[in-house]
Every structure is written in structure tokens, then in C-alpha cells.
Amino acid sequence: MNQSTQQENDFAVVSDQLAPIREMIQTCIQCGTCTGSCPNTFAMDCTPRKLWRMVMMGQKDEIFQSKTFGLCSSCYYCTLRCPRGLPLTEAMGALKQIAARENLEPYKKSVRFYKSFVESVRRHGRVREMEFMTLYFFSMKDPFLPLKFAPLGMKLMSKGKVSVQIPTKGQRRLESLFRKVEELEAKP
């Protein structure tokens, strides 16, 4: 199956999953306050206001090809300022969850990055940078990827910002906490 056919199939699967998000933002009046409040708009390919319009119109392809919700840093400015009191940060989070759950092509890299980060925290209670990046490189299966990060890694090491530690399974002291969250998230 080629990449565009795979994407079309992926996007068809998520169509129904947009309904609860549409509910969240259905009283949007398209005033643009969310866009004006968002510190990350400069990097987004469509504004938050436009994204909500696309959600209302059910334009799933455009939504999930956009980088906008992936760049939301959950700062809550838009949520606090929306004149309709809409849960916009939550809606952005719900779009991220769909992209991760369905393993959508444009978001695979970010999801693997995030999962590697969380796995390191789960093992040790804090992130171990070297281990985190090792897990990420393995998950990406790209032998040239470490070379792209090498200059940054060297710079950080020379400033003592990254310590060299061999990856281990750790003591998993936060395991029960992670399990509980997984349990809660699995509930309908």
C-alpha cells in the first residue's frame, strides 16, 4: 500500500472520532481570540480559529495533515480567553490523542519521540537524556538519525547538560502511578 492510500485509510478511521471534539467547540463564533492569544501561532500552518472551523466542517484530511494541534503547548491562554468559555486546550489534546492512537503518518515521529521520553521517565522517575534519545533512535529505525543529533549532543555534553549513562530497566518506582493512569484512560 503506498503512503497516500495508507493516509486516506487512516483519515477515514478518525472521522467518527471527531464528533466529541465538534461538541466541545460547537458554539465557536469564529472571533479569533484563540488565535490572537496563542504564543505558537507563528509556527502553525493554520490558526487555531481556522482549525476549529475545519473541525466543525468535518475536514478530517486537512485537520490531520496540519501541524497546528501538534504544536499546541497546552498553555491554556486560548481556553482562558475564549469568550464562549470553550475547552480549547482539551480539544487540542483530543486531536493529539486521535493522531497517536491511530498512528497517523504525519505524527509518527512525534509520537515515538514522546513515547521514548515517557519510557525513560517510567523507568527512572526522571528523564535520562542519553537513554531517551537511544530509545528514540531505535524506534525510528533510521541509522543516519543519530548523526543529525550528534552536533547538538556534543554541545550539550561539553556544557555538562547531558550525562552519559548506560540505558537500564531502572527501578520503576512510578510504575503503579503509570498503570493507574493507563487504567483511567482506558475507561470509556
Give me the 52-91 binding string for ligand SF4, x by CB under 6 A, dash otherwise: x-------------------xxxxxxx---xxx-x-xx--
CB 108 to ligand SF4: min, Å? 21
Among 6, 15, 23, 32, binds ligand SF4 (CB under 6 A): 32
Three-class SS state of 52: helix
CB 47 to ligand SF4: min, Å? 9
CB 36 to ligand SF4: min, Å? 8
Question: How would you label 105-115 residue by residue, b for 16+ Cβ within 10 Å and e otherwise?
Answer: bebeeebbbee
C-alpha cell at 35: 488565535
**CB 31, CB 85: distance < 8 Å:** no
- For residue 168, the tally of other CB atoms under 10 A from its CB is 10
| Residue 26 φ/ψ, nearest 5 degrees | -70, -15
- Would you say 49 or 124 has its CB closer to ligand SF4? 49
Give me the 10-29 binding string for ligand SF4, x by CB under 6 A, dash otherwise: ---------------x--xx
Does 99 participate in binding ligand SF4 (rule CB under 6 A)?
no
Does 120 participate in binding ligand SF4 (rule CB under 6 A)?
no
- Would you say 74 or 165 has its CB closer to ligand SF4? 74
Does 40 participate in binding ligand SF4 (rule CB under 6 A)?
yes
Residue by residue, DSSP assigns 88-112 as HHHHHHHHHHHHHHTT-GGGHHHHH
Nearest to 92 by CA among 12, 37, 31, 10: 37
Residues that bind ligand SF4 (CB under 6 A): 25, 28-34, 37-38, 40, 48-49, 52, 72-78, 82-84, 86, 88-89, 92
